[in-house]
């Protein structure tokens, strides 16, 4: 798997979360994954869809 961490802006939590969710969703489509791996990916997708309170403006 290629490293695409450089595509994210440093400190952008929501972009990182969207990237993690997209990658997990992409991997879930694979048919060669064991059931435990698919279940873990489903949990990741569910957790990354949750609402996060980031404490408002942090400037």
Give per-residue pLDDT as tens, 34-54.
999 999 999 999 988 876 665
Q: Which domain holds residue 28?
A: 12-48
| 21 or 1, higher pLDDT | 21
On whether residue 24 sits in a domain, the answer given is: yes
Query: What pLDDT was estimated at residue 12?
Result: 76
On whether residue 59 sits in a domain, the answer given is: no
Query: What pLDDT was estimated at residue 26?
Result: 94
pLDDT of 30 higher than 80: yes
On whether residue 23 sits in a domain, the answer given is: yes
Tally of domains in the chain: 1
DSSP 28-40: HT-SSS-HHHHHH
pLDDT of 11 higher than 70: no
On whether residue 3 sits in a domain, the answer given is: no
Taking CA atoms, 49 is separated from 9, 27, 28, 31, 41, in Å, by 20, 16, 15, 23, 12
On whether residue 27 sits in a domain, the answer given is: yes
> From CA 56, how far away is CA 4, in angstroms rounded?
28
On whether residue 57 sits in a domain, the answer given is: no
pTM: 0.63
Q: Which two tokens stand for residue 5?
A: 């961490």
């Amino acid at each position: 798997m290629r490293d695409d961490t450089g595509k994210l802006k440093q400190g952008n939590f929501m972009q990182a979360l969207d990237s993690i969710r997209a990658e997990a969703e992409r991997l879930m489509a694979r048919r060669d994954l064991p059931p435990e791996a698919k279940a873990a990916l489903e949990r990741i997708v569910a957790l990354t869809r949750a609402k996060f309170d980031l404490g408002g403006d942090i400037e």
